[in-house]
Amino acid sequence: MKFNTKAIHGGQHDVDPAYGSVMPPIYQTSTYAQSTPGGHKGFEYSRSGNPTRSALERAFASLENGEYGLAFGSGLAAIDAVIKMLKPGDEVISTNDLYGGTYRLFTKVFEQFGIKFHFIGMEKAEKIEEYVTENTKLIWVETPTNPMMNVIDIKKAAHVAKKHNVLLAVDNTFATPYLQQPLDMGADIVMHSATKYLGGHSDVVMGALVVKDKELAERLYFIQNASGGVCGPQDSFLVLRGLKTLHIRMQRHCENGRKVATYLSNHPKIEKVYWPGLEDHPNHAIAKAQMNDFGGMISFTTKGNNFEEAIKIVERLKIFTLAESLGGVESLAGHPASMTHASIPRLEREKTGVVDSLIRLSVGIEDADDLIADLEQAIG
């Protein structure tokens, strides 16, 4: 089954046996009747499992070419479950340019429990091995990264992980399984903030994990159930609905992304454009090899690194909405230094390129000419 068909049918059973519903029903229930203690039809309590959530989890697994999917109440809840597999003294090697919420979870929550994190540039994946010790248990990769759009070679990272018997987890939120499938490149765990492209309509908060290995899935399922960071059936229904148009939405995100990135690259007031599809992107060749296209996420800086000017630009936008998040059908703009990455200390931010003039765009599926005209009037 090819991707466009899997987006609609992947992992799904035949029509609902009760009444023939084409879409899996919303099972808005907390518990399930049992004929005898332990005698049930596969579900006993909705924290442990819900038919609507299970349908979504099968869809997640199908799209990522995995065997097991898990749906969580948020992307951070999904990451939380992965790190809970570790114990005090364990070490994690992480991308240094990553979502601010991930950085905050690692440093403000898990470091106090004795887990050590190394934040490094992974643009040259060979560098990862320099930080591997006998205590390393996990390599955490985000590619493309948020917000600098750095691209990391997943196959090379997987080679290092396998060599040292270390788990490799890849945050695939920006690319989605439409553009890249990390499990096929050797990753052990794929993570998504399903709030973004998988849901696609800015109306739900959710996280996802997908794995191939049964033992690893069982460890994560145990943590999911024991910690309770699950999503509800209504949210599961909304994301399952969103997945059915992922392929056509991503096609337009990529088309518009290319046009907007090209426009910005030729603008006299723009210093630098960060988009993997540009030939001057440092790892364009890797992106071309491991991605099917380059997505709709773009970051750029204005000349002079002027904080006030960047704020004025995002405030003047009319079609782009100034807001947190990304990946919806509507275009969004953000100022990472004061929004999504404000939890990262300034000096650490600036080391990775998150300077005061950086603006991040989530290019939606509107008409590209309208988006460019909006940027033109805002930049001036």
Domain ranges of the chain: 3-243, 247-379
- Fold classification of 3-243 is Aspartate Aminotransferase; domain 2 (3.40.640)
End-to-end CA distance of the chain: 48
In 3D space, the residue among 178, 235, 177, 166 whose CA is nearest the CA of residue 207 turns out to be 235
Which amino acid makes up residue 367? D
Kindly tell me if the per-residue pLDDT of 85 is higher than 90: yes
With 90 as the cut, is the pLDDT of residue 133 above it?
yes
Please indicate whether residue 131 is annotated as part of the active site. no
**What is the token pair recorded at 136?**
């390393």
Listed in sequence order, the residues at least 6 apart from 58 whose beta carbon sits closer than 8 Å to its beta carbon are 10, 11, 12, 69
pLDDT greater than 90 at residue 165: yes
Q: What DSSP element (H or E) covers 258?
A: helix 246-265
How much is the pLDDT for 15?
72
Handedness of CA 3, 178, 187, 204 (dihedral sign): negative
Please tell me which residue in 47, 104, 259, 351 is annotated as part of the active site: 47
The catalytically annotated residue of 80, 97, 153, 171 is: 171
What pLDDT digit, counting tens, does each position of 109-123 carry? 999 999 999 999 999
Is 252 designated active site?
A: no
Among 68, 80, 99, 197, the active-site one is: 99
Q: Pick from 123, 124, 136, 191: which is nearest to 163 by CA?
A: 136
Nearest C-alpha neighbor of 68 from the set 77, 79, 57: 57
3-40 pLDDT per residue, tens:
999 999 999 986 777 888 999 999 999 999 998 998 89
| pLDDT at residue 159, as a whole number | 98
Look at residue 231 and give its three-state secondary structure.
Answer: coil
CA 132 to chain centre: 25
pLDDT value, residue 306: 86
Is 47 among the residues known to form the active site? yes
Mention the CATH class of domain 247-379.
alpha beta
What is the predicted pLDDT for the residue at 316? 98
In the prediction, which pLDDT does 304 show? 82
Q: What average pLDDT does this structure show over 174-183?
A: 98
Q: 301: phi > 0 → left, psi -120 to 50 → alpha, else beta; which?
A: beta
For residue 196, indicate whether it is catalytic: yes
Residue 50: the pLDDT is 97
Closest CA relative to residue 325, chosen from 77, 7, 75, 142 = 75
Q: Above 90 in pLDDT, residue 242?
A: yes
Tens-digit pLDDT profile for residues 301-350: 998 878 999 999 999 999 999 999 999 999 999 999 899 787 788 888 88
Q: Which distant-in-sequence residues (6+ apart) come within 8 Å of 83 by Cβ? A: 92, 105, 106, 110, 115, 138
Q: What is the pLDDT of residues 211-239, one digit of tens each?
A: 999 999 999 999 999 999 999 999 999 99
pLDDT of res. 120: 96
Q: Which of 58, 137, 196, 360 is catalytic?
A: 196
Amino acid 341: pLDDT: 83
What is the average pLDDT value for the chain, to the nearest integer? 96
Main-chain dihedrals φ then ψ at residue 99, nearest 5 degrees = -55, 135
